[in-house]
Amino acid sequence: MENKFCNIPDCNDQDFSLRLYNGVQFCTAHYNEKFIAELMSHLEAWDGTIEPPDRLKYLIGRYYGENEIALIGQPSLTKDIVHRRAYNWLKTKDGIVFTTVRYPVDKKKGYPFCVEVHQTWLFNIRTLTYTFLSEGKK
């Protein structure tokens, strides 16, 4: 019987979760394999001296969002914040350090008590984990 859940030939995984990668359906294991391969490819291509390409920022944010990483006792992060509001990107031996800004729209709308919060994070490329490093208010 042909496996209808994964587009990798001879895959016998009966993972019923629908995982689309570039419009093609895969089991979770093969989806993760393709996703991580693309993420690492973009990371290797980025020299770290300029802001990373949008696709790399998107993948870093998407990885966080798809894995619903819960950082107990740490601030929350979303894929949109990483993709659209991160700045000060720095490639290090451990991964990527970046700063995000929270609540920029509220401040622009003139809410009197709104303060932008800038959070610095590390995305560790070896462990595929996120670490909250610091926070500052402006």
**What's the DSSP call for residue 122?**
E
pLDDT at position 90 over 90 = yes
CA angle, 96 as apex, 90 and 97 as ends, to 5°?
A: 60
pLDDT over 70 for what percent of the chain? 83
Check residue 134 and give its pLDDT: 92
Identify which of 46, 64, 49, 38 has the alpha carbon closest to the alpha carbon of residue 128: 64
pLDDT at position 49 over 90 = no
Check residue 70 and give its pLDDT: 59
pLDDT at position 33 over 70 = yes
**What does the alpha-carbon distance between residue 94 and residue 112 come to, in Å, rounded to a whole number?**
39
pLDDT at position 1 over 50 = no
pLDDT digit string, tens, across residues 62-79: 888 777 665 666 677 888
pLDDT digit string, tens, across residues 51-62: 999 999 999 998
pTM: 0.80
Please report the beta strands in 2-128, taking only residues with DSSP state E, as ranges in sequence order: 19-21, 24-26, 86-91, 95-102, 117-124
pLDDT at position 37 over 70 = yes
Check residue 45 and give its pLDDT: 96
Check residue 69 and give its pLDDT: 63
